[in-house]
Amino acid sequence: MRKVLSPFLLNFGIILLLVTASFLTYSLIMRTTVRPPVDPKKADQEAVEIIQIDVLNGCGVAGVATTFTNYLRLRGYDVVEIGNYRTFDVPESIIIDRIGNLENARKVAYALGIHESNVIQQINPDYFLDATLIIGKDYEKLRPMR
């Protein structure tokens, strides 16, 4: 004698499969179109280059520099120092090129969703890193916070 599943269990199983399929479809669309993963290195570069940066909190929100540091490290950037900027009233986040390699600073800006107009150059031979990130009050609009 065969045991027949109740209509309730069948309906529950179908609903569970539909919810799972919907979630997976949503995740796929978000990952490939809306928020695609960011590659810190350009595909046409053959040599693997480590970009060293320091991350400074210029907005005054506790823990934001750590959040950005974790995000950048997961993407292959070498964050050598985190801390506070000299003031907490920076309106927009900026990337500062420190060694004259503006392309590396642009890569960091791209990875974070910072507009290229906020990439500036202040070459300083006393710095032993590629770029400085100063997190501004617009931090919630950037990729690590989305």
Angstrom distance (rounded) from CA 95 to CA 82:
14
pLDDT digit string, tens, across residues 89-134: 999 999 999 999 999 999 999 999 999 999 999 998 888 899 999 9
pLDDT digit string, tens, across residues 45-95: 444 589 999 999 999 999 999 999 999 999 999 999 999 999 999 999 999
More confident residue, 39 or 61: 61
pLDDT of residue 139: 95
Angstrom distance (rounded) from CA 1 to CA 142:
62
Alpha helices in the chain (DSSP H): 7-29, 64-74, 102-112
Return all residues near 46 (Cβ < 8 A) that are at least 6 apart.
Answer: none
Do residues 55 and 65 touch, judged by C-beta distance below 8 A? yes
Q: In the CATH scheme, what architecture does the domain 52-145 have?
A: 2-Layer Sandwich (3.30)
pTM over 0.75: no
Coil, helix or strand at residue 69: helix
DSSP 8-class letter at 143? G
Angstrom distance (rounded) from CA 103 to CA 110:
10
